[in-house]
Amino acid sequence: MKERLIALRRKRRTSDRNRGRDDLCYSIVDSPPGKLLLVADDDNLRVLNFQEGGDKVDPLPPWRQGNRLLDETERQLGEYFDGKRQEFQLPLQPIGTPFQLRAWKQLQQIPYGSTWTYGDQARRVGNPRASRAVGAANGRNPIAIIIPCHRVIGGNGRLVGFGGGLNSKRWLLEMEASVIGSRALVESV
- The pLDDT of residue 167: 87
Residue 38 near residue 73 (C-beta atoms within 8 A): yes
pLDDT at 8 over 70: no
Q: Point out the catalytic residue in the list 24, 147, 149, 173.
A: 149
Biggest distance spanned by C-alpha atoms of the chain: 53
Residue 172 DSSP one-character state: H
pLDDT at 186 over 60: no
% residues pLDDT > 70 (the chain): 83
Residues 6+ apart with CB under 8 A from 67: 25, 40, 42
Is position 25 annotated as part of the catalytic site?
Answer: no
- The pLDDT of residue 10: 52
The pLDDT mean for the chain works out to: 85
- The pLDDT of residue 14: 46
